[in-house]
Structure 1
Amino acid sequence: MSSPCAPRSMRLQEPTPELFSSPPPASACTRKPRRPPPITPKRFTRFFTPRNSRNVSSCTSLSSSGRQLQDITRSALNRNRATRSTPRKTVNFVDIENQMQTPESSARKRKIAYLSPASSPAQSSPSKRSRYVAPPAFDILEDSPVVDEPVVYPESIRKLKTLGGTSRRLQRSFGGLLGVGRGFRRDHGASWQDQTADFYSTSEDLHELPQGAPPFCTASCNTNSMLAIGDEDGYIHLHDSEADFSKPHLSWKAHSNAIMDVQFSSDDLYLAAGSGDQTAQIVDVRTQQTLSVLAKHKSSVKQVRFQPGDDQIVATSSRDGAVHIWDLRCNGDKTSIHSAWGSDAPYGSVVRTLASAHADSTLPSATSSAIRTPASSKAGNMGRRNDISVTALSFLPEGRQHLLLTASDASTCVKLWDIRGRYSLRGPAIPIATTRHPESHNRHRHFAINSLTLSGDASRLYALSKDNTVYAYSTNHLILGIAPELSSLSSSKQKYCGVGQEGLGPIYGFRHQNFHAGSFYVKASLRKAREDRTEMLAVGSTDGCPVLFPTDETFLKRASQHDDDEADGLPDITSTTRKLSRSLTNIRSPDTIPIYEHGTPLLRGHDAEVTSVSWARNGTLLSVSDDFRVRRWQEGPRARELRRGGEGEGRRWQCGWAATSRGFDDDDE
């Protein structure tokens, strides 16, 4: 162990870390106390300069003591590099500049405080701890400022007036009115007359039946262009709507009395025909053989309908007020024998009966007056109960095919039935629901319904009433409140029916000055939307011309707007409606629902009452009339030529065309 008085050269041979600490106290042999050596530039450069900033040349100029000190402290540098790269009391501006980097771009504003050498205060001495003063936070706008500008709305699209033939053909090439809508609200900007103005019929589209047997009904096939016509003598005539129309394809005698109604099955293999001989029959169209005779009614059969999705179930209605549901897979008993067919006929079996379906015992008592005696009231009640004829039938589409709609000649109410239920035979059957009468009928008297027709999506029910109006009902409002019967997922059979709920009345109606339903033979038919053809309703008329009504409710919304008729180039229907209302003041009370006259009559085609109409699969319209004529109405530009051509050179001989408003055909010039 060396003594305190050892030579100075011997004490410097072994440098230790205590070099940086305070010196030991002066020994007893030293007269003058030893003080810490002053800081000289040489020592400052050697011990306080960061090693990572030294260059190669400085390393070579180190002394032997410096190199030994560097070797001793090298392991400590490697161990503390992750936390501190410089001595405690030094400032490394190079590392600070490396930490100051440009922040990444962001769409949001961020508050950042930066430390820069320029913002640091001047250091009084490098041996003191440096103190940094952070500048206040400030906002950096990385994006351009957003200026609130007023919203500029585009100019509204003006509705087009009546389109010409070229425009209508271009519209059909785009898929019809449904394919050229604009915006969220479908608005094709066309007039309702563009859908009905192109119908015409020439002398080649005419077939005349033998005199003395006017046609009463007609029906079209579902899969081909054939159609069936039933006449007063009980004959059924088959025509091809795409071939020569002057001659029937096939004719045979089906009943001994007038045929009141016909309908094809879904596959067109069977034909159901109801007759005035109180029976109906199912015929094989390929062989014209009778497969089943439906004989349970006590009066003439008014309508016959196949159930959608099951051609083995048939419903018939009669003038006796009953509705029968038949199962063609079951054979009838001996009580089904009819005198017109004998005992060898293949009779069908009834599985459900709606007795006195539209009988209402409260109706005569409600309309009785003080003049009527109790005896006469009771007699009228009994006679009224069995005399209400069920004039119209309609099944709901597949999924809800167990629901049946009926109408009668007693009122404008529609009744809804579930054919799966069991109904009592002792009294009038009670339906699931009954719609309300139109308010105008309640104030005066009730009118009958001739036929029922469903729209393509079954959302609307069109009822042709004898007050010369086609009423539109909402199918979803046939029952008010909770109605599991209307659900397509309902599969549970009811044990007994007879809820008797109430449904809403019609929501609007169609009317035209050329449309009158003077008899129960006037029927309606609906063309479903297919390809470029839109949905359209056709009705017969006592005035001798069929009338077409577009069912697109966009036209109805447009008609309710102020001065919209002039914007669309439509005729002034307000004055026409006012005149018609004045002429019918003594017949019915004012209407409480919207009534539209969006109808187009087909003129010059018939000379007597048009009873039944039907749409062929190719979009042509078939109409039958009491003038013993069957007409085929096609669509094309020939209609405009017939309207404008005049009577010269016999161009209009035995022809018919759609009537339009004045100036409709002048837009193409």
Structure 2
Amino acid sequence: MDLTPERPPRGETVTFAVAADESQNLSPRRISRPKKNPSVTPRRFNRFFTPRTRNVQRAVRTSRKALQDLSAARLNSRRDPPQHPNKKRKLSFSSVPSLPSSPIKRDTIPSSQSSTQAGEGQRLLAEDDSDFECFDTEADEKGCAPRTYPARLVPYRSVSSSAAALHKRLGGRKTVVDANDSRLWQNEAANFYSSSEDFYGYNRRFASLPFCAAGFKTVSLVAIGDEDGSVRIHDVSGPAIPYSEVFLTMHPHDNAIMDMELSSDDALLATASGDQTCRIIDMKKQIATHTLIGHTGSIKRVQFQPGSGNNILATCSRDGSVCLWDLRCAKAKGSTMFKELRRESEGFLNDNREVNAVNDIRDAHTSSDGSRISTSRRPVPVSARNDFAVTTCAFMDQTRPHLLATASENNAIVKLWDMRTSYKQRSGKPNPVSATEQPKSHENVRPFGVTSIAFNTDGSRLYSLCRDHTVYTYSTAHLVLGSAPEMSLSSSRPFRQSRQTGHGLGPMYGFRHPKLRLQTFYDKLAIRHRAEDQTEIIATGSSEECAVLFPTDERYLNQATRGPHPDPRVVRTEFPMSTPDGHCPIYYHGTALVKGHRKEVTAVAWTHNGNLVTTADDYTTRCWREDADEARALRLNTERDAYARYMSGWADVLDGYDDDGDEEDDE
């Protein structure tokens, strides 16, 4: 039998390369073996078709770190600035991620980690992924710190509408813009009413008109000053003590009381009178302690300086001057220092301590204010030689009590003065720290004066009641433009007299209402300061036999409140000027307190408990309280009591506000 092996065909042979022995320097020899298709194992199959997992702890290359630092989430959460090494790293193209491994290509895996199970293959894929190895030499020395990527979170503002509203309140937009048909602004003032027991009527045969009002700061009392020089104090705490009863009566002056102001602790009452004097009254002893003498015209406004310990006051007068008074610089005059407040006591004005002004500003407002033409080249007109009455003044706040804002009957310019500077020794026209621009709408018409100004709760806004039937809003930060060390909270340097008058911006926006009409300078403005259970509201007098309330929350300044008043019942009347594009916007979200008075409402004052007191030329004063049910009942007249409704007043609202459906929608 022939045992010779049969030679295989040439096409079925394969050549093998065998490494030569290095010691013998032999050349490799080829061995032929039949070719076979590579087998697809479960590990190779799962490795190719299984996607790579994300958000796992792994080493990240330095080049990928730079790309990750550019993401929005990384930029928002970055705390430390990026560190740039001194040595420049060489460019490397080996960091380019490679394509997934092919199932027909055998990967080099250590034999100790080889496995035929699919789960083991996935583990080896995560451990032996060369695309996530650090190639930087410095990173290799320190070691690549693993980075953990949290799961992607869905913003809660996109979950629902309630979540979006919560996002706006917590950390979203500061100004919430309501829909164009929103009437939420009515909720601020729609609950005010005045019952038939909340008014006090003066005897027209023996009494005079009430001129001014001032609310106490610590107790629920209000002081009313009249044309005869008397002061009546009413209790506005609640229904247990009717407002119609007079708590206390004093007679500090023999002339009309134009304005009153209480100190921060209600210990002193300052009265500004038409007899050109100002009286300081000790409320505990009910005696006059000081008399401020120096003005040559009726005093229009008196203000205590915040943080001065009830020692420093500022007044403005019809003679065009602004004076600063220090009660510690008083001198005794007369045999007795104190005298009871009785009208029959003769020589009352000269029996207490007289105080002279420690600083005064003469001709604070003139007709040349706001004009760009130099008066040195042209003759001074007659109107420029006469001083204009300074109608109102107000200290800024307790952080900057040295700054005093003033306004006049001449125009709508508001001036800012540094009362630490002495203006008595200066000759010529005094220069204030700054003066604001007039509203753009006054350029084509005559100027309009200002009757009253006041700062808001935190001192960031200044509100002025202008004779063009508008409440203008100024930003305190924009009263002075450029470098203004006087506005700094830690400023100890007074304003230099040699410096020229600074410039401030005009009003940002204004408030109007069809029933806000100003015919005299007796109509005043008052602000209820913000508290835990009270919102900030502006109250103004008006010649339309009512007071008007404006909420100051800027979220109501939307397109719905900008333009004519939304109430169709209101008769459309043209204002003295319009507000075209480029001028400050005007908003109509005011609420009128109707049926309470029958003549012009002059003075308004807020009390400690949030009630409003108004005085009118019909010889009456009223107290307006806040109660939603009572106000709604008076508007709808549910009890059918004609007498109670006739002697009462309420807040006027838009049609449909008192409907149950609309109330639920607004809430």
Tell me the TM-score normalised to structure 1 length: 0.69
Summarize the Cα distance change of 1:426–1:645 in structure 2 as closer, same or farther, 3 Å threshold. Answer: same
Change (3 A) 1:225 1:442: same
Question: What is the SS of the residue equivalent to 2:410?
Answer: coil
- Between 1:645-654 and 1:219-228, the stretch displaced more is 645-654
CA contact (8 A) 1:218 1:228 kept: yes
* Aligned equivalent of 1:639: 631
Residues 650 and 365 of structure 1: CA distance in aligned 2, closer, same or farther (over 3 Å)? same
Deviations 1:458-508 (A, max 9, x none): 111000001100000000000001111111100123453653010000000
The equivalent of 1:10 in structure 2 is none
| Contact residue 451 and residue 463 of structure 1 kept, 8 A | yes
Task: Kindly indicate which of the two structures has a greater share of residues assigned to helix.
Answer: 1
Counterpart CA distance in 1 for 2:224 and 2:149 is 78
Matched ranges for 1:381-392 at <5 A: 381-382=384-385, 385-386=386-387, 388-392=388-392
Query: Any unmatched runs of 5+ in structure 2?
Result: 1-54, 61-96, 98-106, 116-126, 133-145, 334-345, 663-667
Q: Can you list the C-alpha shifts for 1:601-647, whole angstroms capped at 9, x where unaligned? A: 00100011110111111111111111111111111110000111165
Q: 2:522 aligns to what SS in structure 1?
A: coil
Distance (Å, rounded) in 2 between the aligned partners of 1:247 and 1:575: 37
How far did residue 379 of structure 1 move? 2.9
Please, which of 185, 194, 203 is the counterpart of residue 173 of structure 2? 185
- Partners of 1:494 and 1:365 lie apart in 2 by 23
| Corresponding residue number in structure 1 for 2:357 | 350
- The residue aligned with 1:499 is 500
Shift of 1:529: 1.2
> Residues 342 and 150 from structure 1, CA distance in 2 versus in 1: closer, same or farther, beyond 3 angstroms?
closer
Q: Which amino acid aligns with 1:406?
A: T
**Amino acid aligned to 1:184:** G
**Superposition deviation, residue 115 in structure 1:** 2.0
Partner of 1:572: 566
Task: Judge conservation of contact 2:421–2:495 (CA < 8 Å) in 1.
Answer: yes
1:227 aligns with 2:226: no
Query: Could you tell me whether the CA contact under 8 Å between 2:416 and 2:435 is conserved in 1?
Result: yes
1:157 aligns with 2:148: no
Q: Equivalent residue for 2:196? A: 203
Match of 2:589 in 1: 598
TM-superposition CA deviations, 1:281-319 (whole Å, max 9, x none): 111112221111111011101011100011100111100
In structure 2, the partner of 1:12 is: none
The CA distance in 1 between the partners of 2:220 and 2:242, in whole Å, is: 12
Decide whether the 8 Å contact of 2:367 with 2:410 is kept in 1.
no
Greater gyration radius: 1
Kindly tell me: are residues 498 and 664 of structure 1, through their superposed partners in 2, closer, same or farther at Cα, counting changes over 3 Å? same
Match of 2:208 among 205, 213, 225: 213
Aligned-residue offset at 1:107: 2.3
Distance 2:390 2:604 in 1: 20
Distance 1:500 1:155, change over 3 A: same
Relative to 1, partners in 2 of residues 1:552 and 1:497: Cα closer, same or farther, differing over 3 Å? farther
Whole-angstrom CA distance in 2 between matches of 1:412 and 1:445: 11
SS at match of 1:493: coil
Q: Is the 8 A contact 2:567 2:654 kept in 1?
A: no
State how far apart, in whole Å, the 2-side matches of 1:150 and 1:399 are.
44
Partner of 1:612, secondary structure, is: strand
Seen in structure 2, the aligned counterparts of structure 1 residues 362 and 326 have a Cα distance that, compared at 3 Å, is closer
Pick aligned residue for 1:607 from 590, 598, 603: 598
Structure 2 CA distance, aligned partners of 1:147 and 1:226? 60
Cα distance change on mapping 1:213 and 1:366 into 2, 3 Å: farther
Whole-angstrom distance in 2 between the partners of 1:146 and 1:395:
54
Per-residue deviation at 1:106? 4.8
Q: What is residue 407 of structure 2 aligned with on the other side?
A: 407
AA matched with 2:203: P
Change (3 A) 1:490 1:245: same
Which residue is equivalent to 2:381? 378
Distance 1:660 1:139, change over 3 A: same
Deviation of 1:366 (Å): 6.5
Tell me whether 201-210 or 109-118 shows the greater mean CA deviation. 109-118
Contact 2:519 2:543 in 1 (8 A): yes
648, 651, 654: which one aligns with 1:655: 648
| Equivalent in the alignment of 1:449 | 450
Indicate if the aligned counterparts of 1:444 and 1:588 stay in contact, CA closer than 8 A. no
Aligned to 1:528: 529
**1:265 matched to which residue of 2?**
263
Matched-pair contact (CA < 8 Å) for 1:393–1:407: yes
Instruction: Tell me if the contact between 1:429 and 1:498 (Cα under 8 Å) persists in the aligned partners.
Output: no
User: Structure 2: how far apart are the matches of 1:286 and 1:550?
Assistant: 35
> Is the 2:274–2:298 contact (alpha carbons within 8 Å) kept by the matching residues of 1?
yes
Could you tell me how far 1:226 is from its partner in structure 2?
Answer: 1.1
Query: C-alpha offsets along residues 493-537 of structure 1, whole Å, 9 cap, x if unaligned?
Result: 345365301000000000000111111110011111112211111
Q: Is the 8 A contact 2:56 2:149 kept in 1?
A: no
SS at match of 1:665: coil
Corresponding residue for 2:483?
482
Paired residues, what number? 510
- Give, in angstroms, the shift of residue 363 of structure 1: 6.9
Q: CA deviation at 1:138?
A: 4.5
Aligned match of 1:239 in 234, 240, 244?
Answer: 234
Sequence identity of aligned pairs in percent?
39
**Whole-angstrom CA distance in 2 between matches of 1:215 and 1:344:** 27
Give the SS at the match of 1:642: helix
Whole-angstrom distance in 2 between the partners of 1:198 and 1:472: 25
Contact 2:332 2:353 in 1 (8 A): no
Name the SS of the counterpart of 1:393 in structure 2.
strand
CA shift in 2, pair 1:341/1:574, >3 Å? same
Q: Which residue of 2 aligns with 1:107?
A: 57
Question: Which residue does 1:470 correspond to in 2?
Answer: 471
* Structure 2: distance between partners of 1:318 and 1:652: 41
Measured in 2, the distance between the counterparts of 1:118 and 1:512 equals 85
- Post-superposition Cα deviations, 1:206-236, rounded to whole Å, max 9, x if no partner, equal 1112314110100011111111110000000
Paired letter, 2:550: F
The verdict on how the C-alpha distance between 1:556 and 1:178 changes in structure 2, with shifts beyond 3 A counting, is farther
Please show how residues 114-125 of structure 1 align to structure 2 within 5 Å.
114-116=109-111
Counterpart-to-counterpart distance in 1, 2:150 and 2:213: 71
Tell me the amino acid that sits aligned with residue 198 of structure 2. D
Indicate if the aligned counterparts of 1:441 and 1:589 stay in contact, CA closer than 8 A.
no
Question: Which amino acid in structure 1 is aligned with residue 648 of structure 2?
Answer: C
Residues 571 and 661, structure 1, Cα contact 8 Å, conserved in 2 = no
Secondary structure of 1:641's partner?
helix
Q: Say if 1:317 and 1:113 are closer, same or farther in 2 by CA, change over 3 A.
A: farther
Question: Is the Cα contact below 8 Å between 1:271 and 1:283 reproduced in 2?
Answer: yes
Alpha-carbon displacement from aligned partner over 1:167-221 (angstroms, at most 9, x marks no partner) = xxxxxxxxxx999946523549770001111100001111112314110100011
CA distance in 2, matches of 1:363, 1:322: 19
Q: Deviations over 1:242-295 (max 9, x none)?
A: 132111100111111000000001110100000001111111112221111111
